[in-house]
Structure 1
């Protein structure tokens, strides 16, 4: 395996109820490319994954949002699942942490229901995106231009629909984190 992401640090923002494969597969892709990953959450201890609607494994939280700073990372991953994005979207620290990556022009990756956090942080207006079919109308209502394809890349913002798209999503994650900052990355534009 090539170590092209060596020295790159990926923050993975998740809470209880994230879709397990949407965290583990991108995490493995970055680590296999030589990068580092840090699981960031709301509380210390562990967070519970889901495998579809069943409980999955628990994962150790490396850092809480109280201690995490966007400037310490090169990119952000927001896994989906039914519950994690819904919890994070109502947490101001999660929204602020996510917004900081956009202000710092760093890549942000969101899959499945993960873009719900971006909606609540007012980060999708004018952006080309995708997400799980159930949230595509929510993205449109928030001002995004929604494309129904495996991966959509818009100036450092990378979104994907579901676990079936992880091959394409992971390849783009590694590519984008290696590219670094994107001058066109922005919080939002007027529609």
Structure 2
């Protein structure tokens, strides 16, 4: 395992309906490089990924959008899926 990203924090911004592989692939790659990854959601609890047009796995939310400071993270990732980005865009 490489430690190239040790000490770096990455936030994944998700709501129900994100494309699951667009979270799991980058998350796993970042963690393998030593980054700390957190899943941020609109609400506490879990968020559900999708595989194309089928519901997939649930993932625990580490923190909510309104409970964190942006400067806590070195990068953000917005996984694809029409529903995810459209929903986030509507959150005040």
TM range (shorter): over 0.9
| Separation (CA, whole Å) in 2 of partners of 1:12 and 1:82 | 16
Match in the other structure for 2:44: 44
- 1:2: Cα distance to partner? 1.3
3-state SS, counterpart of residue 6 of structure 1: coil
Larger strand share, 1 or 2: 2
TM-score (norm 2): 0.97
| Separation (CA, whole Å) in 2 of partners of 1:69 and 1:41 | 14
3-state SS, counterpart of residue 66 of structure 2: coil
Q: Give the gaps of 5 or more residues in structure 1.
A: 93-191
Q: Give the gaps of 5 or more residues in structure 2.
A: none
Larger helix share, 1 or 2: 1
Runs of 4+ residues over 6 Å off in structure 1: none
Aligned length: 92
3-state SS, counterpart of residue 79 of structure 1: coil
Between 1 and 2, higher relative CO (CA 8 Å, sep ≥ 6) is seen in 2
3-state SS, counterpart of residue 83 of structure 1: helix
3-state SS, counterpart of residue 6 of structure 2: coil
